Structure 1
């Protein structure tokens, strides 16, 4: 076995992860024992090299001189990352062998999905997990907060009813076990990975499990106090605005936030009030405040 995985894969030490992957993909397809005769040892070398360079942590450890080309520690202070992945790296490695740990099934499943290798060589001895497939699902803000059932159209034309759990976050990925591409041989099917994208709401905003909301109030409501109806994600409620409420005051509605699936308690809704003046200040209002200002020396804190 070569002492340098970079030499084995034919890449430079500055090669990107994509370059390493492409080099391994090319060599592995050329050297796989189901395709070419007498290449099993060379295939094992290439596979072992990719086990080092295809894993970011192992690659860094090798570059620092902490492990050798077989993934073994060069000194006792380094914890070996490899856990038997190379033991099954040759022809016929099953779904629990080295292929799955390093994503090798993604490389081979499309190549062997026809059930026969190049030149008519059968791949009956080869097993690999099917590829994962990725989808993007857009949901409304309230659907994400409260949960919903959405129908996903698969590339093949089929449909799948997907349960969107309450409290799912924007860009969160839902994993559907076994709903990806079929495995090769005895390999299990891959998973479907659904990335959820939450559409923004006109006035709700989410921070963790809390819902943020701004509500406008009139100057009379701020001065005299009022009962103000506000929306929540579960319906409308009433809050009491006390006399003398300043703009920016926050009212907390406990339990009116998001309750993610599996959690006992919901977050809160935080309502911030903003005083909004009339579009037109009439003579009566202007006269009242003119008289009030002459008789009072109120200073809100300006310097």
Structure 2
């Protein structure tokens, strides 16, 4: 690998904060997800990580600056120290992995060296900063490449369907779901979520048998039909029967809503099929809900009414009208 200072573009006098800042900038710029069409991105990204891994460890950085290890973290052979004791000798200037006076250098194989891994003995490792950076790329880090070893596989995702009552779906809130394993979870269902959409519950799936993160629970939302209400976008439609007297004379009638019945004024002379609107009584939370569309339906007496029949006959004779003309 090239000189780690050159890789990160910092001088040898750079502070730990300057090294970290340079790494963050380069790691974000060269992340393979950010450069999917650049075949060199993976190699460059790994090189940046290895360079940071060496320079972020104060001990390894000092060893590199003294020439005791190379850019990959391998010990450098420093001669026989004037023939005193050979490569493992204890004389002044003795080289090799045992260093001066027979003292062994304290180093470990890490992302800067040939054996992979993701964390140095001290300081902040490259993965710690990557965990912050990778949010911009969907949280996925490369699973191979020098300097960043592969992660153990996640556990299996679990799928389940949740059928939500219409009124609960329209207002949103907590619902209970049972997974295929028998485990039960509370799910926050957004008001008016599109039917068939999937809610992901992180880490609630099957555990990994190889030490990785558990899988997720994927909850598919279904909406149970309601005998009174039906959705029209963010609005809700409901039919309300009224008498012919209320249609002609007007008056107050009880209207069902998602939150309970309320009184509504029917204007005099209302036709059957007329739509009245109650603001904010539709799908959604307060301040963002749609409206309730109240469709009036004129209901005649089930068994007939002689007085109504007589009145209709009189009106037909004295004041006929044709609504179709």
TM-score w.r.t. the length of structure 2 is: 0.52
Give 5+ residue unaligned stretches, structure 2: 1-34, 44-115, 119-139
Residue of structure 1 aligned with 2:243, choices 207, 218, 221: 218
Structure 1 contact 227–239 (Cα < 8 Å) conserved = yes
CA distance in 1, matches of 2:319, 2:159: 66
What's the CA shift string for 1:232-271, capped at 9, x where partnerless? 00121111111111011100100111215xx842111010
CA distance in 1, matches of 2:283, 2:228: 15
CA distance in 2, matches of 1:292, 1:177: 70
CA distance in 1, matches of 2:170, 2:278: 16
Structure 1 contact 142–233 (Cα < 8 Å) conserved = yes
Q: Which residue in 2 is equivalent to 1:290?
A: 313
Query: Does 2:142 correspond to 1:97?
Result: yes
1:229–1:264 distance in 2 versus 1, CA, 3 Å: closer
Query: Does 2:168 correspond to 1:143?
Result: yes
CA distance in 2, matches of 1:252, 1:275: 17
Deviation at 1:209, TM superposition (A): 1.5
Equivalent positions of 1:60-209 (< 5 A) are 82=37, 96-97=141-142, 127-183=152-208, 185=210, 187-209=212-234
Structure 2 contact 159–179 (Cα < 8 Å) conserved = no
Question: How large is the RMSD of aligned CA atoms in angstroms?
Answer: 3.1
Give 5+ residue unaligned stretches, structure 1: 1-79, 100-123
CA distance in 2, matches of 1:208, 1:81: 38
Deviation at 1:287, TM superposition (A): 1.5
What's the CA shift string for 1:34-65, capped at 9, x where partnerless? xxxxxxxxxxxxxxxxxxxxxxxxxxxxxxxx
Three-state SS of the structure 1 residue aligned to 2:187 is: strand
Structure 2 contact 277–293 (Cα < 8 Å) conserved = yes
Deviation at 1:285, TM superposition (A): 1.6
1:149–1:293 distance in 2 versus 1, CA, 3 Å: same
Structure 1 contact 126–184 (Cα < 8 Å) conserved = no
1:191–1:84 distance in 2 versus 1, CA, 3 Å: farther
What's the CA shift string for 1:78-117, capped at 9, x where partnerless? xx965769959xxx9x962379xxxxxxxxxxxxxxxxxx
1:175–1:83 distance in 2 versus 1, CA, 3 Å: farther
Query: Does 2:278 correspond to 1:278?
Result: no
TM-score w.r.t. the length of structure 1 is: 0.56
Deviation at 1:208, TM superposition (A): 1.9
Query: Does 2:323 correspond to 1:300?
Result: yes
Larger of the two Rg values belongs to structure: 2
